[in-house]
Amino acid sequence: MIARITAGDDLDLGRHDPAETFGWHKGEAKRRFVDIRDEVAELQKVLFAERTRALLVVLQAMDAGGKDGVLRDVLTGINPAGVDVTSFRAPSEDELAHDFLWRVHPHTPAKGQIGVFNRSHFEDVLVVRVKGLVPDAVWRRRYDHIRHFEQLLVDEGTAIVKIYLNLSPEEQRERFQDRIDSPDERWKFRRGDLDDRKLWPEYMRAYREAIARTSTTDAPWYVVPADRKWVRNLTVAHILHHALTRLHPAYPPPEAGLDGLEVARLPDT
């Protein structure tokens, strides 16, 4: 069963197997994935036409967790005009001069859009915490700010799903090695990735608390097994399909008086 984290759960990430398959078989899962992905594309088309609600998808993971793979595989076939992807990197000097959510709010999706955050405002309770970039009292009060910020978005018509791609340290090691050994993948790797890898236990504690403290009924977290890409893709597709279906999007009514209307030919020029 896909792990939807309930508000107030005493979360133990160790109980979530990164190699979980949910009993799915690879061949059938890949076929089912294509079907659900197509259904997601159809739902997005209606959402775009309706233009009254939006969907925000937050993707978080350790390095090599598969965030880019989700964007590439799951969102294939969706009208790019209706999807906006934002990748949050280290904040600029101007962004640091403002509150930590200042740089995030302008990238939330407009009505009719699916917005995807590749990393997100949660970096300010993850990497900031692990690397001691601000005092403990500062990042600890951000959990409340995040919940209130996300509730604001929900109240104004944006559905939110937050996805943690749960990667094992051994799978990360193999993916890092593949990047180093592949000339066309090496550009993705930086030595600093190994420094972050050494902090794995600290990051797991930070993720555990961040997910437990900010998963709400209206903006839930999902823990997605990420060691097997085919499982990851189908799981995320299920989550997006469920989120869009719950919105019940509908095409807006057509303008009155269109029955029998014929478009006249233009005169030859």
**Strand partners of residue 54:** 158
Q: Closest by alpha carbon to 146, among 163, 121, 126?
A: 121
Q: What pLDDT, on a 0 to 100 scale, did the predictor assign at position 120?
A: 97
Q: Are strands 158-166 and 221-225 parallel, antiparallel or unpaired?
A: parallel
What is the residue extent of each domain of the chain? Answer: 3-247
CA 112 to chain centroid, in Å, comes to 17
The CA R_g of the chain, rounded to the nearest whole Å, is 21
| Mean pLDDT within 74-93 | 93
Architecture of domain 3-247: 3-Layer(aba) Sandwich (3.40)
Query: Rounded to the nearest 5°, which phi and psi values hold at 124?
Result: -80, 0
**Strand partners of residue 55:** 114, 159
Q: What is the pLDDT of residues 130-163, one digit of tens each?
A: 999 999 999 999 999 999 999 999 999 999 999 9
Q: What pLDDT, on a 0 to 100 scale, did the predictor assign at position 77?
A: 83
Place of tokens 């659900």: 36
Q: What is the pLDDT of residues 233-253, one digit of tens each?
A: 999 999 999 999 999 999 999
Share of the chain above pLDDT 90, in %: 92
**Strand partners of residue 224:** 165
Q: What is the mean pLDDT of the chain?
A: 95
